[in-house]
Amino acid sequence: MKIAFFSTKNYDIASFEAVNNGRHELEFFEEQLNSRNAILAEGFDAVCVFVNDKINSTAIAALEKLNIKAIAFRCAGYNNLNLEVARKSGMKVVRVPAYSPQAVAEHAVALILTLNRKIHKAYNRVRENNFSIENLTGINLYGKTIGVIGTGLIGKAFCEIMLGFGCRVLAHDIFEQEALKQKGINYLSLDDVLVQSDILSLHCPLLPETHHLINKESLTKMKQGAMLINTSRGGLLNTQDVIESLKARHLGYLGIDVYEQEAGIFFRDLSESIIEDDTISRLLTFPNVIITGHQGFFTKEALEQIAVTTLNSFTAIESGQALDERVVIA
Residues that bind ligand NAI (CB under 6 A): 76-77, 98, 101, 104, 149-155, 172-175, 203-207, 209-210, 231-233, 257-258, 294, 296-297
SS3 169: strand
Q: Which of 294, 301, 304, 318 is the catalytic position?
A: 294
Nearest to 59 by CA among 78, 75, 82: 82
For the question of residue 294 being annotated catalytic, the response is: yes
Strands in 70-73's sheet, in edge-to-edge order, are: 25-28, 2-5, 46-49, 70-73, 92-94
For ligand NAI, the closer CB: 114 or 210: 210
Q: Which of 209, 233, 301, 326 is the catalytic position?
A: 233
For ligand NAI, the closer CB: 34 or 151: 151
φ/ψ of 175, rounded to 5, equals: -120, 125
Output the residue with the shortest Cβ distance to ligand NAI. Answer: 152
For the question of residue 276 being annotated catalytic, the response is: no
Give the CA angle between residues 108, 311, 294 to the nearest 5°. 20
Neighbour tally for 285: CB within 10 Å? 9
Alpha-carbon Rg of the chain, whole angstroms? 21
In whole angstroms, the minimum distance from the beta carbon of 90 to ligand NAI comes to 26
CA pair distance 237, 211, nearest whole angstrom: 7
For ligand NAI, the closer CB: 50 or 253: 50
For the question of residue 24 being annotated catalytic, the response is: no
For ligand NAI, the closer CB: 252 or 255: 255
Burial label for 316, CB within 10 Å (0-12, 13-18, 19+), is: middle
For ligand NAI, the closer CB: 232 or 312: 232
Q: How many Å separate Cα 183 from the centre of its chain?
A: 26
Catalytic residues: 233, 262, 294
